[in-house]
Amino acid sequence: MSRLLPALLVSAALAMPATAMAHGPQSSANHTMPGVIQVTATANVDVVPDQASVSAGVQSDGKTAQEAMARNSELMRNVFATLAANGIAEKDIATTTLNLNPRYDYEQRTNGQPLLVGYRASNQVTVKSRDLNSTGRLIDALLQAGLNTINSVNFIVSEPEPAQAQARDAAIDKAMAKARFMADSANVRLGRLLSLQEGTSASPIRYNEGMMA
């Protein structure tokens, strides 16, 4: 069974001055040519997520705006009750958007304008699940409670700093080794570090096979 392993990718770009070493009887200080060696290295660390973030919501239609909003409010009450019953704390629930839009039938027209047939209310929430093993059951319960749109399910690491530091150290070590190799191959001598840049990203996640069944 595959585990959940997002890889933290850290790239280290080093800029280091390199001084050419002159040889032979013509050598002098004037022949020393300073330059810069720039290298980039990437390291990744696999991390097991400990949380899931579910973005989902409810869409409700009605002939009037009031009817659409009333239906939406009723379904959202069921959704919040289901979240509480599944042990989701209020601090882990956030309402992200609430919209009310008219619905038109463009095949039927009145005075050249599409016919207004009703309204659609939509309410989107983001839920944080701290128990990955129960995320699938939670989504199933929410669907039964009236949830009818699921935008995304993201798996996250609550404290990524230790893994990021590990990946950073590995990337810098690789970059330093590459710079030394290039300096030796070019017969130049490395100086002090001039600059260091970092970029971090996450790779695709391998899902637990039974989790989202």
pLDDT at position 113, please? 87
Q: Look up residue 14 and give its two tokens.
A: 């080093």
Q: Which of 87, 203, 83 is nearest to 147 (CA)?
A: 83
d(CA 194, CA 209): 47
Q: The tokens of 96 are what?
A: 């992200």
pLDDT at 41: 85
Compute the C-alpha angle 55/56/59, nearest 5°. 150
The burial class, CB within 10 Å (0-12 / 13-18 / 19+), for 52 is buried
pLDDT on residue 16: 55
User: What pLDDT sits at residue 171?
Assistant: 86
What's the pLDDT at 193?
A: 80
Report the distance separating Cα 212 and Cα 154, nearest Å: 12
The terminus-to-terminus CA distance of the chain in angstroms comes to 13
Report the pLDDT value the prediction gives residue 119, as an integer from 0 to 100.
97
Give me the pLDDT at residue 158, please: 87
Which portions of the chain are predicted below pLDDT 70? Answer: 1-34, 200-213
Q: How far apart are CA 17 and CA 145, in angstroms?
A: 64
pLDDT of residue 61: 96
Q: Is 24 helix (H, G, I), strand (E, B) or coil?
A: coil
